[in-house]
Amino acid sequence: MSTATLPAYTKKDFQTDQEIRWCPGCGDYAILSAVQSVFPELGIPREKFVVISGIGCSSRFPYYVNTFGFHTIHGRAPAVATGLKVARPDLEVWVVTGDGDSLSIGGNHTVHMLRRNVGLKVLMFNNRIYGLTKGQYSPTSEFGKKTKSTPYGAADRPFNPIALALGANATFVARSVDIFQQHLKDTLRKAAAHQGSAYVEILQNCNIFNDHAWESLTEKDARSEHVVQLEHGKPVVFGKNRDKGVRMNGLDLDVVSLGNGITERDLVVHNEQDPRPAYAFLLAHMEEQSGLPTPIGVFRSWNDLPRYEDTITSQIRDVQSKRGPGDLSKLLHAGDTWEVRA
């Protein structure tokens, strides 16, 4: 079906008749709304979408999006999604996961999916807690956080999901916030347009087990001072009056006030297309330093690596052109085989 003959999809076309079973006030609702708003814009037949999830509150997602979907097992969504994308590279495959699902039991699958540059779009909901199992600490919980499983405070240092993705050489890495709806939709559109693995961390509230998880960023009066929005080709500026910026200081980043001889020309100009991840890695660690804001937006978008599924498809075609179609029966009976008799 060509784009010209596609139905005029609306948000309603991507809504299902399933009862949404999230707690009232959960940030998942905002993310679902954003996804259902963006999918109709992508010019892709609805039957070409597949939403795959693991285990967790976020992983109910396939039930609520009117596309094909698969609710898999804990941490294994990237592996299942990779298999599907290799077998059917024509499909638009989205992975929905959480900080526990993807960074704990599923951490290995996440890293290898990203390093392979599989053409998947990954939405990682980060509420810094295990919500489905009712309030244990997760791989992104703050050091010292008291939860049901860490009554005296978490002894682990938290994962930095953006830095982890960059360390795996992911070709598209971004961050948004559940309630920043316009920014979230813009970020989803950019992820959808990327050809390889697109990894989007979405900061999200769990109002039951970790309320105010990101209050320092989402509280209205604090946003402009504690959040910096990355825009490709523009100086990194923030603040209520846009009077602060980020500049390079040797091999580090620091905050300066504009004025008194300091202008936007002295600031870092954001380059999401830098083939080297070092600059994006510095951005990923900004919020860990006192006085520096938390970046949102696209950290890295680099399209020069081949997609995993394209490489595999090319290999299969090359072998078939030389040897002809494969014979499954011959394969199964090759090598060491034996017969079990009653």
Give me the DSSP letters along 248-266. Answer: EETTEEEEEESBTTB-GGG
CA distance 13 to 9: 6
- Give me the pLDDT at residue 342, please: 79
Question: What tokens appear for 279 in the block?
Answer: 């600059």
Per CATH, the number for 3-233+271-301 is 3.40.50.970
User: Which backbone phi and psi does 254 adopt, to 5 degrees?
Assistant: -145, 165
Contact 140, 126 (CB under 8 A): yes
- Give me the pLDDT at residue 1, please: 54
Closest C-alpha to 82, from 55, 47, 106, 57: 106
- Give me the pLDDT at residue 4, please: 61
Q: 64: part of which helix (H) or strand (E)? A: helix 61-64
Which pLDDT tens digits describe the chain residue by residue (342 residues)? Answer: 555 678 899 999 999 999 999 999 999 999 999 999 999 999 999 999 999 999 999 999 999 999 999 999 999 999 999 999 999 999 999 999 999 999 999 999 999 999 999 999 999 999 999 998 888 989 999 998 999 999 999 999 999 999 999 999 999 999 999 999 999 999 999 999 999 999 999 999 999 999 999 998 999 888 889 999 999 999 999 999 999 999 999 889 999 999 989 999 999 999 999 988 999 999 999 988 888 999 999 999 998 889 999 999 999 899 888 888 888 888 888 888 788 897
Would you list the domain boundaries of the chain? 3-233+271-301, 235-269
Q: How far is CA 266 from CA 177, 221, 230, 299, in A?
A: 29, 27, 16, 20
- Give me the pLDDT at residue 251, please: 87
Question: What tokens appear for 59 in the block?
Answer: 């992983």
Q: 172: part of which helix (H) or strand (E)? A: strand 172-177
CA distance 339 to 84: 32
Q: How far is CA 205 from CA 142, 143, 198, 308, 332, in A?
A: 14, 18, 22, 34, 50
pTM over 0.85: yes
- Give me the pLDDT at residue 134, please: 87
CA distance 95 to 52: 5
Q: How far is CA 149 from CA 26, 152, 170, 248, 280, in A?
A: 22, 9, 32, 40, 34
